Amino acid sequence: MGEGELEALEGEVAQQVRGLLKALVIDVDNDHNTAETAERVARMYLHEVFKGRYHPQPKVASFPNVKELDEIYTVGPITVRSACSHHLVPILGHCWIGIQPGERVIGLSKFSRIADWVFSRPHIQEEAVIILADEIEALCKPLGLGIVLKAQHYCMKWRGVKEPQASMVNSVVRGSFRTSASMKKEFFDLIRQQESLL
Ligand SMILES: [Zn+2]
């Protein structure tokens, strides 16, 4: 999305949020606390919490796997900040990513950058890990890939059933982590060690 398009969209979102606030009988014209809320919320959605929909993917350079490394490595915890598609309230947690390298490799910090970009959109957790896995596969085509995501959903904590401690854990495994039971076990064993350090 181009700079001009994004600016126009920001104006439109602000206008619609103002309409929502008015429908909620919040007096944006006279309450100094909410006078600028519509513009603030529009900026927050477009440039922060949902930036993954409107801003381009962070640049990630990949390199040939010169040493033909084929041992598993894992990275985490990577902070997960997202929002649920159903209620637009936060999903907060952590994810762990494991790789058996293929022909190309990417820098360790790039996993955090890609995860932040993917999660900064409205999601349901079951699909978010799949979208992240697709992006990582496209970037470095690993022989094996696994992602574990553990998150708390504010639509469960703040409203609804109001369970403050409940979390959701899900995972995706691909390539050798799916076809080889020993590779899969090694991946989850490594993740477990990282998680216990939290
Ligand atoms: Zn929800």
What domain range is 144 assigned to? Answer: 62-196
Span from the CA of 58 to the centroid of ligand 1 (angstroms): 27
Span from the CA of 52 to the centroid of ligand 1 (angstroms): 19
Coil, strand or helix at 128:
helix
On whether both 79 and 39 belong to a single domain, the answer is no
Span from the CA of 24 to the centroid of ligand 1 (angstroms): 20
Low-confidence ranges of the chain (pLDDT < 50): none
Span from the CA of 159 to the centroid of ligand 1 (angstroms): 9
On whether both 12 and 41 belong to a single domain, the answer is yes
Contacts (Cβ under 8 Å, ≥6 apart) of 171: 129, 146, 147, 148, 149
On whether both 73 and 97 belong to a single domain, the answer is yes
On whether both 67 and 102 belong to a single domain, the answer is yes
Span from the CA of 85 to the centroid of ligand 1 (angstroms): 6
Span from the CA of 122 to the centroid of ligand 1 (angstroms): 10
* Assigned token pair, 46: 């477009």
Contacts (Cβ under 8 Å, ≥6 apart) of 140: 62, 99, 101, 102, 104, 105, 106
> What's at 45, amino acid-wise?
Y
On whether both 164 and 147 belong to a single domain, the answer is yes
Position 1 scores a pLDDT of 79
Number of domain units in the chain: 2
Position 194 scores a pLDDT of 86
On whether both 49 and 111 belong to a single domain, the answer is no
On whether both 19 and 81 belong to a single domain, the answer is no
CATH of the domain at 127: 3.30.1130.10
On whether both 73 and 126 belong to a single domain, the answer is yes
On whether both 91 and 9 belong to a single domain, the answer is no
On whether both 192 and 133 belong to a single domain, the answer is yes
On whether both 68 and 42 belong to a single domain, the answer is no
On whether both 48 and 72 belong to a single domain, the answer is no
Span from the CA of 128 to the centroid of ligand 1 (angstroms): 14
